[in-house]
Amino acid sequence: MNILLSRKDTMRLLILTELVKNRDCSQRDIAKKFGLTPQAISEHFKDLIAEGFVTVIRKGYYQVTERGIEWLTKSVLDLYLFSEELTKKLFSRSIVALASGDINEGDEVVYWFQDGYTYARAEKGGGNGVALTSAKDGEDVLIKATKWFEPPKKGEIIIVKVPDVGEGGSRKVDIEKFRELIKSRPRSLVLAIGVEALVACRKAGVEPIFFGTKEVCVEAAHQGSGVIVACTENMLNDLLRKLIDEELEFKIKEFSGT
């Protein structure tokens, strides 16, 4: 990135940009815009003309040559790629949250983790971030963190063991107790592993997440969301190994019915 390291190249970029944007600007106009003396800008123009980047149209007025356009195009592209990478790095440190109430760009906000999601609300004084975008209640909003915050605690995982179909399947589950568990944790995700578990969930009045359940369970718990997993008994060990590998705590419940 010579253009950022060399004052000569930086001034060359600025001058060529002005000439491309406004063909009627003069040396005096450019000197005034950049706070330079006429003598200083004149020296830069002498170099540009000598190197074939600029040609004289008439006294005091100039035009960028093809060579100058090529140099300017390459330099702008280099700057764009540099700034794009930097922008991604900077914004990767930002947080996308759900707005709790209306938020205006520039508002001081407080943001927090709850049930696997990040929420933010406008709050003057005592906030831990600044809104980089505006958002209405419930919309997505970009937040820049300004203070340290507590990371989300791991979500509660409750595993409800469901017998294999040969042992009675969903018919051996006390559906009313299972339904009460689900109602007691309305914010928890409900997952099912195995057809017997799926049927038990449906009997309890819930359509669970059925595909990719182990991955969903792990990710949701790491993000702080509670999870209720109905798991067919012959698939239980595989689930437990996954949770142990992820260092996630869990409880196992059996709701035996008649």
Predicted TM-score (pTM) of the model is: 0.56
Residue 152 lies in a domain: no
d(CA 106, CA 78): 31
d(CA 80, CA 192): 48
- Scan for tokens 């009627």, then name that residue: 24
Residue 206: CATH number of its domain: 3.40.50.11230
User: Within this chain, do residues 141 and 162 fall inside the same structural domain, yes or no?
Assistant: no
Residue 150 has pLDDT above 80, yes or no: no
How many CB atoms neighbour CB 207 within 10 A? 10
Beta bridge partners of 119: 98, 112
Residue 7: CATH number of its domain: 1.10.10.10
pLDDT, mean of residues 115-128: 87
User: Within this chain, do residues 32 and 111 fall inside the same structural domain, yes or no?
Assistant: no
Q: What is the pLDDT of residue 140?
A: 96
pLDDT, mean of residues 4-24: 84
Report helix, strand and coil shares of the chain as percent, to nearest 5. 45, 25, 30
DSSP 151: P
Residue 220 lies in a domain: yes
Q: What is the pLDDT of residue 211?
A: 95
Least confident among 24-28, 90-94, 132-136, 154-158: 90-94
Report the number of distinct structural domains present in the chain. Answer: 3
pLDDT band at 1 (very low <50, low <70, confident <90, very high): low
Q: What is the pLDDT of residue 258?
A: 62
User: Within this chain, do residues 19 and 98 fall inside the same structural domain, yes or no?
Assistant: no
For 67-90, the DSSP string reads HHHHHHHHHHHHHHHHHHHHHHHH
pLDDT band at 87 (very low <50, low <70, confident <90, very high): low
Continuous segment of H or E residues that includes residue 188: none
Determine the structural domain holding residue 72 and report its residue range: 2-91
User: Within this chain, do residues 69 and 99 fall inside the same structural domain, yes or no?
Assistant: no
Q: What is the pLDDT of residues 185-220, one digit of tens each?
A: 999 999 999 999 999 999 999 999 999 999 999 999
Question: In whole numbers, what is the pLDDT of the chain averaged over residues?
Answer: 89
Q: What is the pLDDT of residues 162-187, one digit of tens each?
A: 999 999 999 999 999 999 999 999 99
Beta bridge partners of 56: 62
